[in-house]
Amino acid sequence: MRIIAFGDIHMSLGNFDKIPNISSADLLILTGDLTNYGSRPEARDILNRILEVNPHVLAQVGNLDEFAINDYLDALNMNIHGQARLFRRGVCLMGCGGSNPTPFATPTEFSEKEIGRTLEQAYFQARNFIELAEPLEHHQIPLILVSHTPPLDTALDLLPDGSHVGSSAVRSFIEQNQPPLCLTGHIHEAKGSDCIGETLILNPGMIGSGGWVEVLVDKKGNVSAAIQ
C-alpha cells in the first residue's frame, strides 16, 4: 500500500499534482490547514482540485480552518479528526486536527485537555477496528496517527527563537501508545523528522513549498515513511 500525505495547504497546492504517481496512490492524507481562515467554500475549492487527481482522500481541519470545515468533511465521509478509519484492512488511521492554543487566536484551537480527549476518542475507535479486523488477517494492522499539531519538545515543534510550541497531550499519547508513525505539520519552519521511542514523526512542511510524505505499508503490516 502506498500513501501520500501532505498538509499546510493554505489555499496553495503548488505542484502537488506533479508528485510521482499521485493519481495511482492508494490513499491521500491531508493533515490540516486546507485554507487560510477559510470555511466550506474555500475547502471545497481545494478538495475538488485534489479529488480530480485522486478520489481516495482522508482529511482533517487545521487551526487556520474554520471548524465548519470539520462538518463538511464529515458530510463527504473523509474526516479523521477525533475518529479512526480502517483502510482496506491494511492500515488504521486516527486523527487530531486543529492545534493547541496559539498567540494568534486562530479559528480552531483546543486546550490540552480537549486534545487529550480527542485522541482518546479516536484511539478507542482504532483499537476496536484493529481488534475486530486482525483475527481475519494474517498480518498486524498498523496504526498511523495524523496530528496537525506536533508533539511537544521535538525537532518538529521548534520555532526559530528556540521555543517549543507543540502539544503535551500529543506527546503523552505517543509515549503511552507508540504508534509506528505520526504525520504532523503546523510549524512550517520545523520541517523534518524526529522520534519518540519507537514512533517516527514526520513534518513535511507546506505542500506549496513542495513538502510531502510517502508512506509504504507492506503485506505484513510493516510501515516505512520518508519526507520527499
pLDDT tens, position by position, 22-64: 999 999 999 999 999 999 999 999 999 999 999 999 999 999 9
Q: Across residues 6-29, what is the average pLDDT? A: 97
- For the stretch 121-143, what's the b/e string if a residue is b when 16 or more beta carbons lie within 10 angstroms of its beta carbon? bbbebbeebbeeeeeeeeeebbb
Question: Could you tell me the CATH number of the domain that includes residue 145?
Answer: 3.60.21.10
Structural domain including 195 reads: 2-227
Percentage of the residues of the chain whose pLDDT score is greater than 70: 98
Burial class (CB in 10 A: 0-12, 13-18, 19+), 171: buried
Check pLDDT > 70 for residue 137.
no
Check pLDDT > 80 for residue 135.
no
Number of domains in the chain: 1
pTM of the full predicted structure? 0.97
Select the more confidently predicted residue: 44 or 89: 44
